[in-house]
Chains A and B, each alone.
Chain A
């Protein structure tokens, strides 16, 4: 019996000339090894029939602005978009209003305002400053801010120095500008994320449509086969009836 490793090397034609000569000499005399070689080659031919399905694996590495490559299809995008929409919706429902004026920074929600303008006092209890824990906290923050404002002047950090000497109107204008820029940036990011979600949905939809088409074709094939079989049975019955 020949060396199995040598047989494999011969089948794959990956051996030295000396080894090839040696095994070919052996094969002329050994029918068992000739069969073995034939079987191994036959298996190789059959292996060629196994092809992986064609799949769209077209993707690219995209350098993120923070330098770390990420999948464009990452679910994180979907989560981020969902979180943004949720926050926007919550803000709209709560009617959050941030105001900066002579009284300092004021954060108000729509619930408080609605309560304030409610025209049916019997049905809606007007909210006072201490009616809810939230209002109590606002009141505490307000008190703390007033304390800080009335405290003696102390050395200020560098960031604060830049606002010194600015009028309230100028500060208000700058804050509004910053808010507008932030809002614009968030809108752009949201648009990008929504577009990505739409792309994902579109791809999935196309894949689903292909799957549905395949399934319909398969069902149609089955129905046709059944119809043909039924027809064959009917023909057979008719032939039998005629023979009788």
Chain B
């Protein structure tokens, strides 16, 4: 009996095993499950919506093609993150430029209102949007290694050890990068007058 028919979500490992057996639908379930985190990672690393979407799609295509070589020695998500980061690194090298803080200049109040939490006023929402833009600018100026460590820790909840494995660096280096990155962010936001 199909597990999903019973309403029980299959684990990544189960879906990977079925995908390796040629079940494309199982792989598409993995795509559905992970496309947004992967897109978010790519967007925050390279800062461009369209390019981040391309990186996201390329990540899954590469993963699908290389599925036979994935032996499950790491988590599937870690494997995807690695592919994504490699593609982002290629993008930065190819474009020969640092990530940019791309954010729409105009503020659409109707669009904003639809995003607001029930307890959040439009003014608070606008302030949050402004803060997000300031964060994006500061993050874009961080060195790649600090930015990547912060993104993986803050937005993807990886442990120090998982980040160290992904970035092929010692655990202590990860902590140092996080410390330095957070310190710079704090200082620059204060200087920009957007510190709360």
Chain A interfacial positions (CB closer than 8 Å to B)? 4-5, 7-9, 11-12, 14, 39-40, 42-53, 55, 57-63, 69, 71, 214, 217-218, 221
Contact of A14 among B49, B64, B159 (CB under 8 A): B159
Contact, CB under 8 Å: B186 / A43: yes
Interface size on B, residues (CB 8 A): 50
Contact, CB under 8 Å: B175 / A4: yes
Write the chain B residue with the least CB distance to A70: B61
B27 within 8 A of A: yes
Using Cβ atoms and an 8 Å threshold, which residues of chain B touch A217?
106, 108, 110
B60 within 8 A of A: yes
Pick from B1-9, B10-18, B35-43, B79-87 the stretch touching chain A: B35-43
Contact, CB under 8 Å: A5 / B172: yes
Write the chain A residue with the least CB distance to B50: A55
A2 to chain B, nearest CB (A): 11
Using Cβ atoms and an 8 Å threshold, which residues of chain A touch B56?
57
Write the chain B residue with the least CB distance to A69: B64
Using Cβ atoms and an 8 Å threshold, which residues of chain B touch A58?
35
Contact of A214 among B31, B106, B131 (CB under 8 A): B106
A214 to chain B, nearest CB (A): 6
Contact, CB under 8 Å: A52 / B186: no
A3 to chain B, nearest CB (A): 9
B100 within 8 A of A: no
Contact, CB under 8 Å: B135 / A47: yes
